[in-house]
Structure 1
């Protein structure tokens, strides 16, 4: 159904784009689709805006309903006004169009269907991006970037293959933050009381969890201790321990981040056979589920975790000080627990070792892409939109949007920006993330020996250094991007399979009869099309690897 809806929407927008160009000479109208697209782009891109005659550009911005009182709206506030004034000097007349964050995909599809999309739109959904490119809903940008995007090529050129389709660039993107990873965290204060070392393997972790339950080092009552706090699989914003704890069992992420399941590793690709298996009918995944089932039966997991789909109970366990071990991306959990336990000491630990001694975090060792930024075909002057994005990068606009102004929001000490008043900044620069399209492009990396300038607390500095070291030691060397590779099965069934995987995993973990429930889980996966999904993913991996040669 999703595929048919997207196809209808894109049929509408392609028709509208054709209507926009209906006044072209007959010789142009008889050209091929690719030639027509290039000629349209060339002619429309020639209209360069000036301060006296600026080009109108409408830009999507997320509305999270979090605008502080007195700070305007997401489309009209101090930062939109500042950026509008600065952009006018370069010949751009900016306007922002709000998109409810929790309705991102629906709103974007509606815009595309009605031909009312802003000139710059974005998504974090790779499948949606590919479908728009595949069906002609967005501009091809290679020639426009070559002409109007020198700073795009210079700074984020290495990321453009990830916003491409069939070898052609169809999107823009910025750089993500410098990678840090310290997801596994344990109550070091509890370990100290029990005189136990930090666990380094699954077996050692199991013994620690049992000791937390039996000996109640936090004095919260044995019946209240939650040795291993987790929410339901697939909980938004919380990996739920189904990601980093699958790695030690041998479940890999061979399809690459965002190509499989965000809350689990994508699965294992066999170079010898050319087969790929998602973490369902996979021996290594089965052993992980068996271990989790054992923990549940021993009372080491929350009784109701399978229905904690919002993470509310999970966060309560952390806040009340009864949790002993978690898998969560936030660098430091002490602030979440310190009100209940003033002496709390959540410490990030290294990735657990697999049977072969290997350790892994999911991130790669360099800045990745931020999101898929697109120019809809209904945009009349795509070259000007590319020029605007290039202007953002050239002038480091993201630096002001993210950090504010020197003397008001920060001071410079040895070249490092130090916040003057963090609470003031949080309220005043409330929408930095959503206004900043280029991400951390051109941003500086504060070296470890100068972190004391940003973090007065030694513990905070140590955590940041650890998180950096974990990525450097255990992160992947590079990305495997499947964006731009046709995956019709994923487009048709991917969402349903992901939902099934998360719900089925929870049922397996809480099952009384593990083997019976696991068999049911696997059978249902294949009945829903999991075999075709994996076969398609195997072919996509082979194509992606071939593209790298």
Structure 2
């Protein structure tokens, strides 16, 4: 029993040792998503044009796309480079960057893309910011870095470009107040624009439904399903949402059915907690990457940058960049859901860059989670019902936002995480699998190694931060 109790602490420590690595390491999702509705861009522009003249906000800045004609203002926009550009294209010169440039020229904004290696974005961002050569829109998944730059006076407060009446109308409608507020500090100051996730669904429990059916068992709702496992009557596991139909995984249904045609692997709802009889789901936060504007950009350039991000929240902007053109890349079904015409064509033509160009959304342009579910399910022919069930079960009950996606990251995270993770990887299996009489010694060695790697510094920073919340 002592070992089990200590191991529970170990697992908590291992989570802490991850130190928000999920957000920083995420490679940008490539999940499909979509919406059948437009998001305010044309309405806002029409309203402005209908007034007969440009309408300025109380601050003087006009950032709703179409509400102001700029005078050939040039903005530089960071673009993650994954070294996956198809033959004949480059990350900064291709069909879709050209489309962006053509659309923005309609309002007098010239867009120049600055390629930054995705695998080295933090180091590159640090050197560019320090040297005063960062692009006008900088991207990162590490919120603490953006906030640090803001606190040091190196980043614009975007509140005067976003919060006023008539400003960034498309952006505010698409992102919503809760996502926008993720980029705020010190009250209403806005140090960055956070992208909105298509869904916060994160993980599922899966079971072999064909085995359950053969045994006359129903889907378990409490941890009494455990007796089935120990008796060898049922197989179950936890993995990322949709893992049961992920063709990349050797145990998923597309592969499993090659050997066992009648096999079925389904998600189940989260089990009821034995302490309070509630169901809990671990979820992602609403926010994805954050975009911010360094002080090296002047006011008009920042105004144009926010206009650019506002355009991303329109159908001509983000929706087209992500889904492509009707008739070429997709058709609408009877429910108004964009359905891919030729997946192979889309993969080669646009999918390789769409997630990195679309800066105000993660995992696809959509209006609701239901839209995302319907659209993405179409990408799994024959498994549509599995996908919908996976997504819905992943959001059942009370939501616990995963610690890896907390908006706070310890200031020492960047320099200490690698060493701490190496220690964790070295000792975690040892402590769990060691003979009981060696546990205490291995545990002490584990703790000493973590201390040497700097984990106490991060724990102190996190304790101080959350104690003030």
Residue 62 (str. 1) matches residue 80 (str. 2): yes
For the residues of structure 1 that align with 2:154 and 2:430, how far apart are their CA atoms?
40
Cα deviation for residue 172 of structure 1 reads 1.0
What is the CA-CA distance between 1:58 and the residue it aligns to? 1.2
The answer for the alignment partner of 1:510 in structure 2 is: 433
Task: For residue 283 of structure 2, give the secondary structure of its aligned residue in structure 1.
Answer: coil
d(CA) in 2 for partners of 1:465, 1:448 = 13
* 8 Å contact kept, 1:59–1:95: yes
Alignment of 1:328 onto 2:240:
yes
1:435 maps to 357
What's the CA shift string for 1:279-303, capped at 9, x where partnerless? xxxxxxxxxxxxxxxxxxxxxxxxx
User: Matches of 2:103 and 2:173 in 1, distance apart?
Assistant: 23
Higher strand proportion (structure 1 or 2): 2
Q: How far apart, in 2, do the equivalents of 1:118 and 1:385 lie?
A: 11
Shift of 1:496: 4.0
Correspondence for 1:108: 125
CA–CA separation in structure 2 for the residues paired with 1:503 and 1:68:
39
2:346 aligned partner: 425
- Match of residue 461 from structure 2: 536
Tell me by how many angstroms 1:194 deviates. 6.8
Query: What number of residue pairs does the alignment pair up?
Result: 389
Q: Give the direction of change, closer, same or farther, for the CA distance of 1:373–1:100 in structure 2 (3 Å limit).
A: same
Q: Deviations over 1:475-507 (max 9, x none)?
A: 248999964x79545566455445444443233
SS of 1:68's partner is coil
- 3-state DSSP of counterpart to 1:471: coil
Mean Cα deviation higher: 334-343 or 104-113:
334-343
Aligned to 1:173, the other structure's residue is in SS state strand
1:153 to 168, 172, 177: 172
- Corresponding residue to 2:201 among 177, 180, 191: 180
Aligned to 1:382: 302
What are the within-5 Å matches in structure 2 for residues 29-428 of structure 1?
53-70=71-88, 72-146=89-163, 148-156=167-175, 157-167=177-187, 168-189=189-210, 204-205=225-226, 208=229, 211=232, 325-333=237-245, 335=247, 336-337=249-250, 338-339=254-255, 341-342=257-258, 343=261, 344-356=263-275, 357-363=277-283, 368-380=286-298, 381-394=301-314, 396-414=316-334, 415-428=336-349
- 2:280 aligned counterpart, secondary structure: coil
What is the TM-score when the length of structure 2 is the normalising length?
0.70
Q: Tell me if the contact between 1:186 and 1:347 (Cα under 8 Å) persists in the aligned partners.
A: yes
CA contact (8 A) 2:281 2:396 kept: no
Change (3 A) 1:372 1:456: closer
SS at match of 2:347: helix
Distance 1:52 1:152 in 2: 19
Secondary structure (helix, strand or coil) at the match of 1:175 reads strand
1:65 to 1:345, Cα distance in 2 relative to 1, 3 A: farther
Contact kept, 8 Å, 1:137 with 1:377, in 2: the verdict is: yes
| 3-state SS of paired residue (2:163) | helix
- Structure of greater relative contact order (alpha carbons < 8 Å, 6+ residues apart): 2
Deviations 1:503-534 (A, max 9, x none): 43233223233343234334444555544533
